[in-house]
Structure 1
Amino acid sequence: MDLHLLNDTPTDVERAAVDALLGPPGGNGRGPGHGRDQLLPALHAVNDRVGWISRGALNHICERLSIPPAEAYGVASFYALFALRPRPPRVVHVCDDLACRTRGSAQLCAALESVEASGEVMWLRSPCLGVCERAPAALAFQAGDPARTQLLAPASEKSTVDLVVSGPVDGDQEPPARESVPQAGDASLRLLRRIGAVDPESLDDYRAHGGYLALRRALEIGPAEVVRQVSEAKLTGRGGAAFPTGRKWEATAGQPAQPHYLVCNADESEPGTFKDRVVMEGDPFAVIEAMTIAGFATGCRRGYLYIRGEYPRAVRRLRNAIDQARERGLLGRSILGREEFDFDVEIRRGAGAYICGEETAIFNSIEGYRGEPRSKPPFPVEQGLFGKPTVVNNVETLINVPLILTGGGAEYARTGTADSTGTRLFCLSGNVRRPGVYEVPFGTTLRQLLDLAGGVEQDRRLRAVLLGGAAGGFVGPDQLDLPLSLEAVREAGATLGSGVVLVFDDTADLPALLLRIAAFFRDESCGQCVPCRVGTVRQEEALQRLVRDRGDGAEDLALLREVGRAMRDSSICGLGQTAWNAVESALDRLGTFTAAQPPDRTPGDRDATRPPETSNARTSSDATTTANRGEAEQA
């Protein structure tokens, strides 16, 4: 490729950061062969070392990877965690999203606004940082060699100011993952049973508690039987759209094109979602074992674990798990002595883009392009990552697989309901006494789940519950006996989404929360399609007028409905299709903005036209081949 590079040159530090990742350049300036898929890691390398990405650094990356500078700039500017202009080496992100707002993030921001600015540090308001159970939260990045991070949650005004002024401290300062699991130690737990009982950094401890028995079982029965057991278990995807996992695996395994790829979607950035983070921090070897089984069953030799950039401890523990598994022959070549079975895992860090939780946007991000969704068909099982057959599952979906293999698919299916088998992880946060990750069988009622978490504080009344996150919908106190199963929430016109249960008491300012949700979708829209790019802006503008005027607002309410339908019906991906859900549910179920016009259809009628489980924008749908049509699982 005849590249037209920039005239700017990198500093020695920037050059060293890139070359440490890619290897020293050769005579042509490029060195070892690297493809465009190394662009995101290279951008991280510079940003981590320096704190921002200069034109000279971008030029050096483009030269090493043979990428036109305009395209590399388009990728670098896509991600919120990267800076393309000089900024201080220390950046502190203070969460200003739904759960943290209910727990005092406004006071943190007010305290920081009074701190005298320094050339060495800056702070920013941030969307959800994924630690809602310990809200409010702040996350500090300190560029350097090595770069340092520190997550502060719960954060006080003093500790947040100290974090801004003094920066991250060395070592893991976070509480144990067990503290995020109020049920820890309960004998009924299945997916969460090891959290708090096993050292998350010890492979030997993991194996002493049943680890890798499922992989051995998979190698004994063979790939086809593994897929059959997963199908018999009726395991559905836990990202939101609830596509049958066995059908997805079977479709991928049957594709003649090679190689096949596996992607574990750990890019959970749906506001209110943190279950996958807790699993990765508390039981990381389970994630790696489950990926290895999935790779074996679907004929993959390589897996990518795509994790959001705001999860520093999860990244560290997963890297440790991968390294130990390789050393012990559980990853890499000839796994467990089987010469025909090679499989390895590579971690890819996201960089602050909610849309990259959509499965095809993940492919583009890994391949070194802007994280924009692709049109379907073709579907990932046919042409996914690098144009090859690809299976995508999220963390919670995958960690169910070892349970299925050790206990049998039929036994697994006995838990839950007929159409929703197994247990489900729910993320409880907001105005609830014991926030955290809860594991309950499908079919448990919302009331029972809230009772487990202690309900709202004394002398407070429940106002609403947001199910499924920003892409989900509100339910009121009159729906607490709703069974939390796919079929029941579908019938009620709601969604389980990514497992968010965000609780608001009678102190909640619902109009302000709706405005925050609208601002979130406006910020996170990739801008590729007009309905979403324009619709999310118009939605926020209409809500701004309603919140400001508090008047009749009939015209703006009618506009909201019209824009919402347009986004739902014609957006390319789940972000635009669900950006109106929470607003609509607040109007129709909670009576927010009392001048709301009656909906054209009842919630049940409206949702009868949707897929079985509404797609959650953070973890988009994956459909199968034409021969295996169905509603897609969110990866």
Structure 2
Amino acid sequence: MVDVLTPVLSNAWDTDRPWTLESYESTGGYGALRTALGMTQDDVIGLVKDSGLRGRGGAGFPTGMKWSFIPQGDGKPHYLVVNADESEPGTCKDIPLMMATPHTLVEGVAITSYAIRANHAFIYVRGEVLHVVRRLQRAVQEAYLAGHLGKDIHGSGYDLDVTVHAGAGAYICGEETALLDSLEGRRGQPRLRPPFPAIAGLYAAPTVINNVESIASVPCIVANGASWFGSMGTEKSKGMTLYSLSGHVARPGQFEAPLGITLRQLLDLSGGVREGHELKFWTPGGSSTPILTAEHLDVPLDYEGVGKAGSMLGTKALQIFDETTCVVRAVLRWTEFYKHESCGKCTPCREGTWWLVQTLARLEAGQGSEADLETLLDQCDNILGRSFCALGDGATSPITSSIQHFRSEYIAHFEQGGCPFDPAASTLFAPAGANA
């Protein structure tokens, strides 16, 4: 592993007005696009494959391989869709990236679209973040005016239009096929696969769907080469990435580091858990990933390391909870979110998340019994792997993992007839807007 911090995507975040085209071009911005336009499309795809870039939206699928699934010579239009519907509780990396340096994403969109032979790209942004939508729209406008988008880009003969689309605020639209339905004007619900989006995606045409950070990482790979990118990270999880630290940590924020760094190292960089307290549990990739404990401080934060520890790297949303937090109450709140955000298309998720909340609420109130824990695990078992998409699976993850690590805390609730934690001492119960 190289240096502890490797600012690449975040390198210009602290410069003067980094979101403007003038600032971006002053540091070599859009130079990678010119380089890519001088290459063949297949060579660009091969370069991204060789770099080892993996999807930064959660699953970690190889990005270049995903691009290569697009059929060539099929006579159909091809589309690129950027998933900027950042909705996972605890995840906050794409929004600051788009706010600080939107042209990084726009340049990545242009290079990726050229590589997959797409002439129209869409950036699907969460509708509530209107400030981000406006900033992206201005960045796209600047790119058009400068000739980085539009007709015959830089005399290459390649044409590209980019549309910034604001979603309507549904967590399920972060699922790629539900996002496509929403983009087409329908209710956002997952599609049955096959066919996969690479064959029949947006408007039934071949489509690549990638996360914001994945696409924003493309320009630096084109500019610096696959070997440079592969020099960071681990053997199977290459490159740098954005880790989001939040919760009971002294200095929360974004930390761009090579894949494979540990939470212990990140906590050292962020001042550690807040003064006078100690780590109790944490999420490695947002609330839909199994929770980990202080025993996992030295687990490499890459796809393989976190997977071996029994969780998922996901979106690298590291939510830190100290000993004042009631794990049952935290899991209940997450489960209430998943119940609310279920699209209702499939029975295991629609009915299952409702029953999970009922059982958890009873346990949290101290009205359950140890038999209810087995009922809860049985409910999770009936949802896991049986839902139409990953939302149901994600809803079960914090429940099963919290019972695995903190079963005694669940038992303490019904033995004491209520939550054993003092609400006055726990920031989990603090009023909305209170400083944690």
TM value normalised by structure 1: 0.63
- Name 1:363's counterpart in structure 2: 180
- Name 1:388's counterpart in structure 2: 205
- Name 2:423's counterpart in structure 1: none
- Name 2:395's counterpart in structure 1: 579
Partner-residue secondary structure (3-state), 2:122: strand
Residue pair 1:476, 1:590 contacting (<8 A) in 2 also: no
Partner-residue secondary structure (3-state), 1:300: coil
Structure 1 CA distance for aligned equivalents of residues 39 and 16 of structure 2: 28
Partner-residue secondary structure (3-state), 2:355: helix
- Name 1:237's counterpart in structure 2: 55
Structure 1 CA distance for aligned equivalents of residues 286 and 23 of structure 2: 35
Residue pair 2:50, 2:226 contacting (<8 A) in 1 also: yes
Deviations 1:418-467 (A, max 9, x none): 00000121111111111111111111111101111111111111111122
Residue pair 1:200, 1:281 contacting (<8 A) in 2 also: no
Structure 1 CA distance for aligned equivalents of residues 143 and 359 of structure 2: 53
Partner-residue secondary structure (3-state), 1:348: strand
Deviations 1:496-534 (A, max 9, x none): 111110001111121111110110000000000000001
State which drifts further: 199-208 or 537-546. Answer: 199-208
Partner-residue secondary structure (3-state), 1:425: strand
Pick closer, same or farther for the CA change 1:535–1:549 going to 2, 3 Å.
same
Paired amino acid for 1:569: G
Residue pair 1:284, 1:317 contacting (<8 A) in 2 also: yes
The sequence identity of aligned pairs, in percent, is 42
**2:237 is equivalent to residue 411 of structure 1:** no
Q: How far off is 1:257 after superposition?
A: 4.5
Structure 2 CA distance for aligned equivalents of residues 424 and 284 of structure 1: 17
- Name 2:238's counterpart in structure 1: 421
Residue pair 1:550, 1:593 contacting (<8 A) in 2 also: no
Number of paired residues? Answer: 409
Name which of 549, 553, 557 aligns with 2:366. Answer: 549
**2:30 is equivalent to residue 212 of structure 1:** yes
Pick closer, same or farther for the CA change 1:188–1:427 going to 2, 3 Å.
closer
- Name 1:203's counterpart in structure 2: 21
Residue pair 2:5, 2:255 contacting (<8 A) in 1 also: no
Q: How far off is 1:555 after superposition?
A: 2.2
- The 5-angstrom pairing of residues 252-291 of structure 1 reads 252=70, 254=72, 256-291=74-109
Partner-residue secondary structure (3-state), 2:165: strand
Residue pair 1:253, 1:299 contacting (<8 A) in 2 also: no
Partner-residue secondary structure (3-state), 2:80: strand
**2:304 is equivalent to residue 482 of structure 1:** no
- The 5-angstrom pairing of residues 368-383 of structure 1 reads 368-383=185-200
- Name 1:18's counterpart in structure 2: none
TM value normalised by structure 2: 0.91
**2:110 is equivalent to residue 303 of structure 1:** no
Pick closer, same or farther for the CA change 1:196–1:497 going to 2, 3 Å.
same
Structure 2 CA distance for aligned equivalents of residues 562 and 314 of structure 1: 42
Pick closer, same or farther for the CA change 1:442–1:572 going to 2, 3 Å.
same
**2:329 is equivalent to residue 515 of structure 1:** no
Paired amino acid for 1:508: T
Structure 1 CA distance for aligned equivalents of residues 280 and 93 of structure 2: 24
Partner-residue secondary structure (3-state), 2:385: helix
State which drifts further: 290-299 or 564-573. Answer: 564-573
Q: How far off is 1:554 after superposition?
A: 2.2
Partner-residue secondary structure (3-state), 1:382: helix
**2:65 is equivalent to residue 247 of structure 1:** yes
Partner-residue secondary structure (3-state), 2:329: helix
Name which of 459, 465, 469 aligns with 2:286. Answer: 469
Pick closer, same or farther for the CA change 1:201–1:468 going to 2, 3 Å.
closer
Q: How far off is 1:545 after superposition?
A: 1.1
Structure 1 CA distance for aligned equivalents of residues 391 and 276 of structure 2: 37
Partner-residue secondary structure (3-state), 1:569: coil
**2:145 is equivalent to residue 332 of structure 1:** no
Paired amino acid for 2:50: E
Pick closer, same or farther for the CA change 1:392–1:587 going to 2, 3 Å.
same
State which drifts further: 317-326 or 464-473. Answer: 464-473
Residue pair 1:187, 1:193 contacting (<8 A) in 2 also: no
**2:352 is equivalent to residue 535 of structure 1:** yes
Pick closer, same or farther for the CA change 1:200–1:273 going to 2, 3 Å.
same
Pick closer, same or farther for the CA change 1:587–1:199 going to 2, 3 Å.
same
Structure 2 CA distance for aligned equivalents of residues 343 and 265 of structure 1: 18
Residue pair 1:306, 1:347 contacting (<8 A) in 2 also: yes
Deviations 1:544-587 (A, max 9, x none): 11111265x22221121111122112101010121100111111
- Name 2:429's counterpart in structure 1: none
Structure 1 CA distance for aligned equivalents of residues 143 and 98 of structure 2: 15
- Name 1:568's counterpart in structure 2: 384
Partner-residue secondary structure (3-state), 2:266: helix
- Name 1:441's counterpart in structure 2: 258
Q: How far off is 1:253 after superposition?
A: 5.2
Pick closer, same or farther for the CA change 1:471–1:188 going to 2, 3 Å.
closer
Structure 2 CA distance for aligned equivalents of residues 433 and 448 of structure 1: 14
Q: How far off is 1:357 after superposition?
A: 0.5
Deviations 1:111-162 (A, max 9, x none): xxxxxxxxxxxxxxxxxxxxxxxxxxxxxxxxxxxxxxxxxxxxxxxxxxxx
Deviations 1:379-415 (A, max 9, x none): 0100001100000001111111111111111221121
Pick closer, same or farther for the CA change 1:388–1:375 going to 2, 3 Å.
same
- Name 1:323's counterpart in structure 2: 141
Structure 1 CA distance for aligned equivalents of residues 286 and 243 of structure 2: 11
- Name 1:616's counterpart in structure 2: none
Gaps of 5+ in 2: 413-436
Partner-residue secondary structure (3-state), 1:218: helix
Structure 2 CA distance for aligned equivalents of residues 592 and 229 of structure 1: 51
Residue pair 1:415, 1:423 contacting (<8 A) in 2 also: yes
Q: How far off is 1:491 after superposition?
A: 0.8
Partner-residue secondary structure (3-state), 2:70: helix
Structure 2 CA distance for aligned equivalents of residues 253 and 291 of structure 1: 19
Pick closer, same or farther for the CA change 1:198–1:335 going to 2, 3 Å.
farther
Partner-residue secondary structure (3-state), 1:221: coil
Residue pair 1:199, 1:206 contacting (<8 A) in 2 also: no
Structure 1 CA distance for aligned equivalents of residues 373 and 74 of structure 2: 51
Residue pair 1:460, 1:506 contacting (<8 A) in 2 also: yes
Q: How far off is 1:255 after superposition?
A: 6.3
Structure 2 CA distance for aligned equivalents of residues 409 and 255 of structure 1: 27
Pick closer, same or farther for the CA change 1:188–1:500 going to 2, 3 Å.
closer
- Name 2:426's counterpart in structure 1: none
Q: How far off is 1:592 after superposition?
A: 5.5
Q: How far off is 1:254 after superposition?
A: 3.1
Q: How far off is 1:188 after superposition?
A: 3.5
